[in-house]
């Protein structure tokens, strides 16, 4: 693409695509493959974000592309959700039932993680006949009105109030306050790791105590694994690292293999709530689109077949060890990780921003977190190779050296 064409594209982007920040990254994407993205000038960038966890197999994985092509030749949308039997949906739901811990065996497909959160909250209220919902400070569950209502950052809730009533917030990773969950609560929604809050990893005792408390009062436990699920955190689900099984698990991002797809999964008796009194209690037109389900099935089969959660665990430990050099040099304040979900914490937002810019200059894509702008989050593809890891670490160390020297 020529320079005038790129300039015109940027102008139309700013004019006609609704802007969500004053300074978007602005990378003009030409193509992507594996762990790399190329811009319109032909320069390549190592993607350490994988579309915020979407491209678990990297970009344009051959298995996923082949599945999309096969399905596109058969049919696309035929009927609203749940009326026609579409084998991509059925096959993906069956595969999820095979790999998720019991009793999570019935799936409701949506278009996105936020929609899945909405469906899970509705299911919990209808199943328990209770109004209350408990969420945690610092959490992020999406930007639709209901999902925003359980988001733990008041800065993002405030402009859109009044929101969903009956929501209470407790401090994350604080076992002492779990007694505030009582028998008026329909559901407690929690991220096993708070990604947008800076990759906050709780003590195992916290999530176990939360699981116990919800059972005591008869509330459903909803685990939001939109980012942490499907291998990212060194297990298929991050919950498995903490030895808990939720009543409902929310999935998205990596679930669609690069196409839009979300889901919430639960036990048969919980999910049956949506089929009666009244029937069609929760419906969607495009949720579980056959093209997305075909891509998602190909992706999940590859993740499962190669046990990519084990690779994520090993790669994550290596990256963590490599990034410790930035802490030791004083460039960064801390490094945290669980599998291939990593955080570099800096002393200020300005230093985090300069680090991200330094990585970009060196052809590496990183980004800060929504709720803590001092933290740079990394979520590379689960297929990140050794050579790519070496490139990433070298670039980040150089960017850190620039900070350390005050350049």
Ramachandran region, residue 391 (left: φ > 0; alpha: ψ -120 to 50; beta: rest): alpha
User: Is 128 within 8 Å of 186 (Cβ atoms)?
Assistant: yes
Q: Which of 45, 47, 136, 253 is catalytic?
A: 253
Does the active-site annotation cover 183? no
Could you give the CA distance from residue 26 to residue 365 in angstroms, rounded to a whole number? 12
Could you give the CA distance from residue 89 to residue 291 in angstroms, rounded to a whole number? 9
- Taking alpha carbons only, the member of 361, 353, 344 closest to residue 398 is 361
- Taking alpha carbons only, the member of 96, 52, 53, 119 closest to residue 236 is 96
Does the active-site annotation cover 109? no
Could you give the CA distance from residue 15 to residue 120 in angstroms, rounded to a whole number? 36
User: Is 248 within 8 Å of 266 (Cβ atoms)?
Assistant: yes
User: Is 151 within 8 Å of 253 (Cβ atoms)?
Assistant: no
Which 3 state secondary structure label does DSSP give 84?
coil
Backbone angles phi, psi at 69, to 5 degrees: -65, -45
Which structure tokens are listed for 389? 């890891």
Ramachandran region, residue 402 (left: φ > 0; alpha: ψ -120 to 50; beta: rest): alpha
What is the rounded (10 degree) CA torsion for 93, 97, 98, 102? 170
Provide, for the chain, the percentages of residues in helix, strand and coil under a 3-state DSSP scheme, each rounded to the nearest 5: 45, 15, 40
Q: Which of 136, 172, 224, 355 is catalytic?
A: 224
Could you give the CA distance from residue 129 to residue 106 in angstroms, rounded to a whole number? 21
Q: Which of 140, 172, 242, 355 is catalytic?
A: 140
Backbone angles phi, psi at 345, to 5 degrees: -100, 135
Could you give the CA distance from residue 277 to residue 288 in angstroms, rounded to a whole number? 23
Does the active-site annotation cover 253? yes
Backbone angles phi, psi at 265, to 5 degrees: -125, 135
Q: Report the catalytic residues.
A: 140, 224, 253
């Amino acid at each position: 693409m020529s320079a005038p064409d790129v300039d015109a594209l940027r102008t139309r982007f700013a004019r006609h695509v609704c802007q969500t920040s004053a300074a978007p990254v602005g990378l003009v994407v030409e193509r992507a493959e594996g762990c790399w993205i190329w811009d319109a000038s032909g320069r390549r960038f190592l993607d350490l974000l994988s579309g915020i966890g979407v491209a678990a197999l990297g970009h344009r994985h051959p298995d996923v592309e082949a599945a999309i092509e096969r399905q596109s030749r058969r049919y696309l949308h035929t009927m609203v959700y749940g009326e026609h039997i579409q084998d991509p949906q059925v096959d993906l739901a069956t595969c999820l039932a095979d790999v998720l811990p019991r009793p999570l065996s019935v799936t409701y497909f949506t278009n996105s993680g936020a929609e899945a959160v909405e469906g899970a909250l509705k299911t919990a209220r209808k199943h328990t006949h209770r109004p209350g919902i408990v969420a945690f400070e610092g959490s992020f569950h999406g930007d639709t009105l209901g999902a925003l209502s359980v988001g733990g950052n008041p800065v993002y809730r405030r402009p859109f109030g009044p929101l969903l009533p009956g929501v209470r917030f407790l401090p994350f990773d604080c076992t002492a306050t779990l007694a505030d969950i009582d028998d008026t609560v329909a559901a407690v929604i929690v991220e096993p790791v708070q990604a947008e809050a800076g990759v906050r990893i709780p003590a195992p005792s916290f999530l176990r105590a939360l699981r116990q408390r919800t059972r005591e009062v008869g509330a459903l436990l909803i685990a939001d694994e939109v980012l942490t699920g499907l291998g990212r955190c060194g297990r298929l689900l991050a919950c498995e690292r903490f030895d808990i099984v939720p009543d409902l698990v929310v999935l998205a991002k990596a679930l669609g293999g690069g196409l839009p797809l979300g889901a919430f999964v639960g036990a048969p008796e919980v999910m049956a709530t949506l089929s009666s009194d009244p029937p069609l209690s929760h419906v969607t037109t495009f949720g579980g689109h056959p093209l997305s389900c075909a891509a998602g099935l190909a992706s999940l089969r590859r993740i499962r077949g190669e046990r990519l959660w084990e690779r994520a665990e090993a790669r994550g430990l290596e990256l963590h060890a490599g990034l410790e050099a930035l802490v030791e040099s004083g460039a960064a304040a801390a490094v945290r990780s669980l599998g291939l979900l990593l955080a570099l914490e800096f002393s200020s937002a300005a230093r985090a921003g300069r680090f991200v810019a330094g990585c970009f200059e060196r052809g590496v894509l990183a980004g800060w977190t929504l709720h803590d702008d001092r933290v740079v989050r990394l979520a590379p593809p689960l297929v990140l190779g050794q050579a790519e890891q070496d490139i990433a670490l070298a670039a980040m160390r150089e960017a850190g050296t620039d900070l350390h020297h005050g350049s």
